[in-house]
Amino acid sequence: MPSEETPTPPATSGEDLPKPAPRVLTIATSDIVDALDLGLRDFRAAPLYGLFFGGIYAVGGMLIVLTASALQMSYVSYPLAVGFALIGPFIAVGLYEVSRRREKGEPLQWGPVLGVIFAQRRRETGWMAFVTLFILVMWMYQVRVLIALFIGLHAPTTFEGFLQVVVDTPEGLIFLGIGHLVGAFNSLVLFSLTVVSFPLLLDREVDFVTAMITSVRAVFTNPKPMIGWAFIIMVLLMIAIAPFFLGLFIALPILGHTTWHLYRKLVAPEGS
C-alpha cells in the first residue's frame, strides 16, 4: 500500500509577498522651512521646467473662467477659480519628477520628464486624478446649491452684479461665510488625501488607496506642521490667482518642488 505524502506548498517568491505599508515619519515646523528652501533651489536650478508647468496650470485656469464668462455664468468665476486650485497636485507631477531627478543626480531632459508624466496614465495616478476632479465637481455642485438657497435661482449673470449682491445683502454675506467654510473643509479633505499620495505614486509602485491612506496618516501624525503647510499653500494660491492666474507661473513651481521634498521628510525610504 503506497504511503500518502504531504504535498509540498509551492515556493513563494519575494515579489508575491505583500509589500509593507509606507512608514510615516514625524516632522517639525523647521522641516517645512527646509523643504521650502529646497523647493526654491530646484526652481532656481531648473526655471524653464517650473515656468512651463506653471504656465499650463495658469492657462488652464484662464480658459475655465473665460468659458464661464462666455456661457454667462460669471458668477461662478470665483468659486471655480478656487476649485481649480485644488487640482494643483496632479498638475505638479512633472515638477516632482524634476526634483526627483535632481535629488538622484540624473540629467534633466524634456523627453524623460514628459515621458514620466505620460507613463502615469498606466499607473494609479489616474485614479488620484479622478479623486481630485470628483471633489472639484462636488465643490461646484455645493456652490450652486448655496447660491440657490441664499441668493435665489436667478443669480446675476455678471461677476460685478454677483459681487454686489454678495457684499451688499445679508443673504449674500451669509452665502459668503458658509461658502468659505464649505470650501475650507473640501480643501482640507483634498489636501489630506493628496499631499503625499501624488509624489508617493510617482516614486513607488503602490495602489492609490494605500497612497491616500499614507497621505492622511502623514497629516494626522504631524497636525501642526501640516496644517501650517496647508495654510501656506492656501495663501500663495489665493495671491497667485488674483492677477488672473498669472501668479501661478511662480507659485506652482515653488509649491510643487517643495511638496516633493516634504514628501521625502514625511515618508521613510522604501525598505527602511
Residue among 145, 151, 112, 135 nearest 193 (CA)? 135
Poorest-confidence range of 21-25, 154-158, 268-272?
154-158
Q: Mean of the pLDDT values across residues 61-87? A: 71
Each residue's pLDDT tens digit, 142-185: 888 888 888 876 566 666 777 788 888 888 888 889 988 998 89
The pLDDT of residue 135 is 83
The 3-state DSSP class for residue 205 equals coil
> CA-to-CA distance for 237 and 129, rounded, in angstroms?
19
The answer to whether 258 and 35 have CB atoms below 8 angstroms apart is: yes
pLDDT of residue 166: 81
Q: What span, in angstroms and rounded, lies between the C-alpha atoms of 191 and 89? A: 9
pTM of the predicted structure, to 2 decimals: 0.82
Quick check: 37 pLDDT over 90? yes
Alpha carbons 105 and 265: distance in angstroms, whole number? 18
